[in-house]
């Protein structure tokens, strides 16, 4: 049975990390299904929000997580650029109306921590940055939020459960039950587990590979062991199990029965994604396999291009999204130029594997081959990551929760460790190095370490950030303790009436990082106070598109023409416009800086100029019609 499905490959090359706390990581709520219409919204190119139905761009925004979606509105978080220095992990909460045509986002709340998600009772639960002991709920229907409960300590994680919200603090986990508005004893501790909530049950996969299922009000029921990934669709749980090889299994919740679908000859990654009619898997050599939900037969679907080091599969309606979890660009990036539509014939086959050719007897002793280096990077999961996190936590490093997932907190803590050890700060760890750490031990983490001119690394970067936010440093925040940083420290020492030597001692840093640390413009009359920054209005937050006289039908026709005349993948609107603008730039009708991916007034005028100068149309229109496109690209 042939099934048409769009595969979006979002593989970004590994870039150098700027500020560890600023790097966005893939959130499981990166896609949200609309409650009406069967479509899905997702984060795509340049952190914009897209609809899987077209796919059309809904909003240009620095979106980070999608929180809630129905037929009338979408709630999402965006990077809080104004408070990045003081609250690096803070976001702002917005609502985007979906049923009123072109609409601006509506501001809801500011300085929201990363722990944001929607529970099963249609409330958006989150933790305000200014008071991390408070659980706050936003009601999309009423358009208002309220503080729900106070926890015993700072809330470190929120997890959806079929009975409410699991609220985790350093003291443990409690269950917030919306019906009674109180914290109660939790049925299980989600820390270290991957949990997924469905209509009538939830699945739990712990770091040891034990897969369990739990219905409302019931105890956990173990399904299987040695499981590396699991997902549910249409009341069935599909999971990958590793024994001698990787095996795809299914568990029927109604019949309480387990079936083996098939085994794989090659190693599979711990990734599963479900679309409306298929489940997708990916092998270590980055071949994607599709299993039809109706037939339970498996076929090879496609293969990723090189450059995606840690692929993550996410289902989005009738689409499959592929993100690179190792990307440290600070955004979830989607590249339309890698997009293509395929038709996959679903057949009951195993992964392709060539029969080994007979090798002649060796005439000489073969040279020993080096053992491949296994590296833990952002996005890695498993026991090794959990061991690393526990080791870092034991020695005081700010790793956050130990959950077996190599996230931004782990990257940050590893960089602090590498700084203390005097080695290059990569934020990654090899398995061999981890084994050495377990035997040799780690240095003890200290919040403040004396720094001076010539020092480099994450600690210098954080120091510069703080100096910059208080007005003492006007130069770049680059992690290099140079003359500008020395001058900034001296200025702060002068404000504190200390001896001015430009050395960031532990005493200086303790004063500098106090919540009420004196600001440069308050201490010195010649330091200008930054202009008061207002909260961004919805108009400022959204970049308005101006298509001049170009209507949407013309753009859709242009995309269709390009899809029919170019090979190498499907062209979505923004990529098609950029392709057109690049051609106009080559011909001298546009400046390089005017390739904006938006069919704006400059593009309209350039197209009109092409039509006039080359007698393409008797009446130049500036529209991307078939005849003009053939002249440009023929």
**pLDDT tens figures, 495-504:** 998 889 999 9
- Tens digit of each residue's pLDDT (9 = 90 or more) over 518-558: 988 888 877 777 654 444 444 443 333 344 457 777 888 88
pLDDT score of 239 = 94
Which pLDDT band, with edges at 50, 70 and 90, does 379 fall under?
low
pLDDT score of 569 = 61
- Residue 257 in contact with residue 267, Cβ under 8 Å? no
- Tens digit of each residue's pLDDT (9 = 90 or more) over 280-315: 898 888 888 888 888 888 888 777 766 666 677 777
- Tens digit of each residue's pLDDT (9 = 90 or more) over 195-235: 888 878 889 988 788 999 988 778 888 999 999 999 988 88
User: Would you say residue 508 has pLDDT above 90?
Assistant: yes
Residues with Cβ within 8 Å of residue 240, at least 6 apart in sequence? 227, 228, 229, 230, 246, 247, 248, 249, 268, 270, 272, 281
Least confident of 149-153, 292-296, 437-441, 487-491: 437-441
- Residue 448 in contact with residue 510, Cβ under 8 Å? yes
**Residue bearing tokens 């003492």:** 472
In order, the DSSP letters of 391-415 are: HHHHTT-------SB--HHHHHHHH
User: Would you say residue 445 has pLDDT above 50?
Assistant: yes
Which pLDDT band, with edges at 50, 70 and 90, does 115 fall under?
low
User: Would you say residue 347 has pLDDT above 90?
Assistant: no
pLDDT score of 3 = 34
- Tens digit of each residue's pLDDT (9 = 90 or more) over 181-194: 889 888 888 887 88
Cβ burial 174-205 (10 Å sphere, 16+ → b, else e): bbbebeeeebeebbbebbebbbebbeebbbbb
Interval 451-464 mean pLDDT: 89
- DSSP letter for 382, please: S
Pairing of strands 429-430, 375-376: antiparallel
- Tens digit of each residue's pLDDT (9 = 90 or more) over 143-157: 788 899 999 888 888
User: Would you say residue 454 has pLDDT above 80?
Assistant: yes
Distance CA 610, CA 41 (A): 37
Residue, of 112 and 505, whose pLDDT is higher:
505
Which pLDDT band, with edges at 50, 70 and 90, does 275 fall under?
confident
- DSSP letter for 557, please: H
pLDDT score of 576 = 84
In order, the DSSP letters of 499-529 are: -----B-HHHHHHHTSTTPPPHHHH-TTSPP
pLDDT score of 534 = 46
- Residue 274's alpha-carbon distances to 234, 284, 372, in angstroms, are 10, 19, 32
- Tens digit of each residue's pLDDT (9 = 90 or more) over 74-102: 888 887 665 555 555 567 888 888 766 66
195-200 long-range contacts (CB < 8 A, ≥24 apart) are: 195/159, 195/160, 195/161, 196/230, 196/231, 196/232, 197/120, 197/160, 197/161, 197/162, 198/232, 198/235, 199/235, 200/162, 200/235, 200/253
pLDDT score of 109 = 80
Distance CA 215, CA 237 (A): 13
User: Would you say residue 130 has pLDDT above 70?
Assistant: yes
For the chain, percent of residues with pLDDT exceeding 90: 12
């Amino acid at each position: 049975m042939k099934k048409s499905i769009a595969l979006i490959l979002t593989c970004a090359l590994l870039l150098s990390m700027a500020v560890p706390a600023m790097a966005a990581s893939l959130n499981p709520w990166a896609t949200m299904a609309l409650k009406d219409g069967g479509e899905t919204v997702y984060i795509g190119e340049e952190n914009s929000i897209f609809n899987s139905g077209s796919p059309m761009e809904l909003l240009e925004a620095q979106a980070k997580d999608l929180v809630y979606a129905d037929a009338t509105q979408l709630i999402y978080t965006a990077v809080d650029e104004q408070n990045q220095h003081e609250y690096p992990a803070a976001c702002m909460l917005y609502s985007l109306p979906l049923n009123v045509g072109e609409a601006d986002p509506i501001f809801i709340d500011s300085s929201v921590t990363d722990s944001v998600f929607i529970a099963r009772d249609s409330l958006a639960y989150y933790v305000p940055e200014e008071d991390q002991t408070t659980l706050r709920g936003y009601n999309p229907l009423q358009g208002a939020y309220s503080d729900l409960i106070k926890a015993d300590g700072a809330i470190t994680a929120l997890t959806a459960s079929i009975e409410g919200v699991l609220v985790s603090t350093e003291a443990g986990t409690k269950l917030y039950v919306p019906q009674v508005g109180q914290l109660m004893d939790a049925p299980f501790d989600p820390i270290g587990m991957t949990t997924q909530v469905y209509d009538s049950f939830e699945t739990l996969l712990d770091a040891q590979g034990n897969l369990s299922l739990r219905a409302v009000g019931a105890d956990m029921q173990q399904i299987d062991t040695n499981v590396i990934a699991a997902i549910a669709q249409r009341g069935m749980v599909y999971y990958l199990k590793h024994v001698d090889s990787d095996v795809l299994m299914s568990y029927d919740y109604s019949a309480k029965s387990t079936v083996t679908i098939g085994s794989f000859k090659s190693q599979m990654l711990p990734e599963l994604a479900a679309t409306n009619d298929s489940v997708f898997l990916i092998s270590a050599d980055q071949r994607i396999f599709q299993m039809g939900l109706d037939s339970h037969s498996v076929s090879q679907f496609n293969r990723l291009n090189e450059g995606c080091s840690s692929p993550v599969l996410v289902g989005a309606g009738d689409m499959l999204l592929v993100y690179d979890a190792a990307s440290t660009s600070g955004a979830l990036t989607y590249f339309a130029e890698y997009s293509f539509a395929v038709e996959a014939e679903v057949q009951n086959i195993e992964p392709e594997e060539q029969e080994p050719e007979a090798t002649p007897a060796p005439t000489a002793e073969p040279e020993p081959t080096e053992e491949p280096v296994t590296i833990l990077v952002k996005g890695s999961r498993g026991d090794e990551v959990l061991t690393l996190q526990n080791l870092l936590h034991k020695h005081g490093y700010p790793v956050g929760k130990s959950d077996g997932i190599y996230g931004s907190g782990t990257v940050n803590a590893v960089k602090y460790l590498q700084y203390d050890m005097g080695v290059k700060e990569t934020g990654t760890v090899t398995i061999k190095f981890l084994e050495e750490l377990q035997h040799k031990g780690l240095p003890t983490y200290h919040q403040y370490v004396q720094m001076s001119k010539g020092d480099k690394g994450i600690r210098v970067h954080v120091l510069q950030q703080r100096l910059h936010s208080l007005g003492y440093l006007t130069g770049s925040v680059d992690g290099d303790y140079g003359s500008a940083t020395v001058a900034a420290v001296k200025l702060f020492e002068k404000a504190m009436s200390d001896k001015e030597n430009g050395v960031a001692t532990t005493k200086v840093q303790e004063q500098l990082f106090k919540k009420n640390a004196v600001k440069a413009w308050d201490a010195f009359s010649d330091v200008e106070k930054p202009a008061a920054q207002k909260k961004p209005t919805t108009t400022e937050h959204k970049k308005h598109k101006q298509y001049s006289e170009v209507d949407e039908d013309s753009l859709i026709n242009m995309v269709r023409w390009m899809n029919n005349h170019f090979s190498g993948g499907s062209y979505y609107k923004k990529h098609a416009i950029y392709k057109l603008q690049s051609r106009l730039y080559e011909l001298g009708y546009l400046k390089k800086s005017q390739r904006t991916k938006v069919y704006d007034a400059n593009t309209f005028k350039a197209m009109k100029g092409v039509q006039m100068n080359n007698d393409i149309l008797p009446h130049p229109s500036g529209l991307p019609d078939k005849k003009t496109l053939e002249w440009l690209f023929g």
